[in-house]
Amino acid sequence: MAKQKAIEDLHGNWEQSYHDLPKLLNAMSGFLNGFVVEKQTRPLYNQQGEMVHHYVQFHRVFWTFKPCIDGFKYCKPIVQLDGTFLYGKYKGTLLEAVAQDGNNKIFPIAFAIVEGETADAWFLFLHYLKIHVCPQDDLCLISDRHESMKAAYARQGSGWTPDNSVHVFCIRHIAQNLMRHFKNTERKKLIINMAYGMTEPRFNYYYNTLTSEPEIEGVIEWLNTIPKEQWTLAWDGGRRWGHMTTNLAEAINSILKKTRNLSIFAIIMSTYKRCNASFIQRGKKVNAKLRANQIYTEIIKRAMTETFTVKLHDKWCDYGKFQKLHMPCSHVVAECKHVHHDYKSYIDQVYTLQYISNVYNELFGELPNESYWSNCKEPQIIPNPEKIINKKGRPKSSRIRTEMDMVEPGQPKRCSLYRNVGHSKKKCPYCQGSSSHQA
C-alpha cells in the first residue's frame, strides 16, 4: 500500500489515470501519425440497475505505433506472444507481441491491457494484431502451449489460419508440461535435444535414445499428442527461423517489470517513450556501424574437419542450419568458395544492411506537453472496482512456481549480492560489516 501511494504521488491518482485515458489516446492519435488504438468499455449501472450516462467501465485496450507496423515488414516473419501480470492497484494483464530484426534485436510490435490470459482476451489481441500489424501471410506464431491461446488461434474470425500462418510452441513450456506429468530430468533433456535437432537423423537419434529407456510408453504417447511440426526444428520447414522459445517476449516482460507497477496512463506512455528511444538509438547504430558483409567474413577462415552434402540450388545442407536459419553455414561458404559463387547471395534479405536499416526508418513523432492536448468529449472511464488488488495487509506473492523456476542440478551456489561463487550473502567478504571483512 505504501508503494502504491508513492507511485500515486509520482504518476498521479490511480482512478484519475483511467479518467484521463481517452484524452491520452486521442492525443496520441492526433499527434503520432498512424497510431492505432482499439478500446473496449462496458456500460455502467447503478444499484437500481439503471445505466449511468457519461460514464463507462474499462475493459480492454490494444495499441501499437506506426513505426512498429512499418518496421515489422522488414523483420523475420515470426511473432512471439506472451502475457504478464500488472503489479499496480488494479488487476490486469499486459499482452505483448514481439518480433526480431535481422541484427537479432528485439522488436516490440503491439501491446494490450486485458483482464487476464483468457481465450476471449487472446482472441481480441490476435484479431487486432492481424488487422493492424501482421496482414501478410506465411508468418510463424510462437507461444506457450496454453489452452486459451490455442482456442483463440483456432477460433473463426481471429484472422490466423493454417493457410496464412503456422502456430508453434515454446519448447520450455513443453518441457515444463512433461515434468509436470512424468518428473524425469534426463528425459526432459532428451526431448529438448530432440526439439533443437536441425535434421531428421539428429531428431531420430535422440528419439531412439529415448525409446530405449524402460517404462517410456507414457512419455511417447504424450509426445505424439503434439504434432512434430509444432515443437521441433527438424520438421518445422524453416518457419521458426531457429527460435525455439518465447524468450524475446519474456525479455520484454523483464524490461517492463518496473513499468508494470504504474497506472494504465503511465504504462501506455512508457511504451511510447521506450520504443521511441530504442528506435532512435538503434537507427544511429545501424547507419554508423553495421555492414552486411560482416556477417560471414570470418567463417571462410575456419578449418573444415567434417564433410556434409550441400545443394546450393535447393538452399539445402546436411547440417541443417542453412535451411533453418536462412543463412549460409560454414559448409555452404566453403562450397561457394570452391565453385566460385558469392556466398552473400545465399543470405536472406532480412539480414542485409538495407532491410535492417528499413526497420528503423520511420519516426514516432513528438507528443507535446499535456497542456496542448485537446479536451476529450468521450464518456469518462472508471476502473472496475472488483479488480482492486490487496485492499489490506502485506501483499502475498501469487506466483506459481513451476519446473522452469528450478535451478539445474550441479550449479554452484552464488552470493546474491555480488554473484561470486564460494560464499553466501551472509558471509560475503565484500559486504561492509561482515565478520570476514572486518577480520
What local confidence, expressed as pLDDT, does residue 391 receive?
Answer: 61
Q: What are phi and psi of 230, to 5 degrees?
A: -95, -5
> How confident is the model over 332-384, as pLDDT tens digits?
888 888 888 888 888 888 888 888 888 998 888 899 988 888 888 888 999 98
What's the mean pLDDT in 239-263?
90
Q: Model-level pTM?
A: 0.83
Q: What is the rounded CA–CA span in Å between residue 128 and residue 124?
A: 6
Tens-digit pLDDT profile for residues 28-52 = 999 999 999 999 999 988 887 788 8
Mean pLDDT, residues 393-420: 67
Q: Residue 422 has what pLDDT?
A: 79
C-beta separation of 365 from 65 below 8 A: no
Question: Has residue 139 got a pLDDT over 80?
Answer: yes
Give me the mean pLDDT over the 422-433 stretch: 76
The answer to whether residue 292 scores a pLDDT higher than 60 is no
Q: Band the pLDDT of 284: cuts 50, 70, 90.
A: confident
Q: What confidence category does residue 67 fall into, taking pLDDT thresholds of 50, 70 and 90? A: very high
397 pLDDT band, cuts 50/70/90, is low
**Distance from C-alpha of 241 to C-alpha of 104, rounded to nearest angstrom:** 11
Question: Across all residues in the chain, what is the average pLDDT?
Answer: 85
pLDDT at 333: 84
Which pLDDT score, from 0 to 100, does residue 408 have?
59
Residue 369: exposed, middle, or buried by beta-carbon count in 10 A (0-12, 13-18, 19+)?
exposed
Check whether 427 has a pLDDT greater than 60.
Answer: yes
CA distance linking residue 130 with residue 270, whole number of Å: 24
- Determine the pLDDT at residue 339: 85
The pLDDT-based confidence of 439 (bands split at 50, 70, 90) is very low
Higher pLDDT, 219 or 217: 219
Residue 81: pLDDT band (50, 70, 90) is very high
- 156-178 pLDDT, tens per residue? 999 999 999 999 999 999 988 88
3-state SS, one letter per residue, for 346-392:
HCCHHHCHHHHHHHCCCCCCCCCCHHHCCCCCCCEEECCHHHECCCC
Identify whether the C-beta of residue 267 lies closer than 8 Å to the C-beta of residue 89: no
Q: What percent of the chain has pLDDT over 70?
A: 89
Instruction: Say whether pLDDT at 73 is over 70.
Output: yes
Query: Looking at residue 169, what DSSP letter applies?
Result: E
Tell me what the mean pLDDT of segment 305-326 comes to: 79
What pLDDT shows up at residue 111?
96
Question: Which is more confidently placed, 11 or 224?
Answer: 224
Q: Which of 104-108, 234-238, 319-323 has the lowest mean pLDDT?
A: 319-323
Question: Once rounded to an integer, what is the mean pLDDT over residues 292-296?
Answer: 41
Report the C-alpha gap between 213 and 210 in whole angstroms.
6
Find cell 518465447 and name the residue: 246
Q: How confident is the model over 264-285, as a mean pLDDT?
A: 90
pLDDT in tens, 84-100: 999 888 999 999 999 99
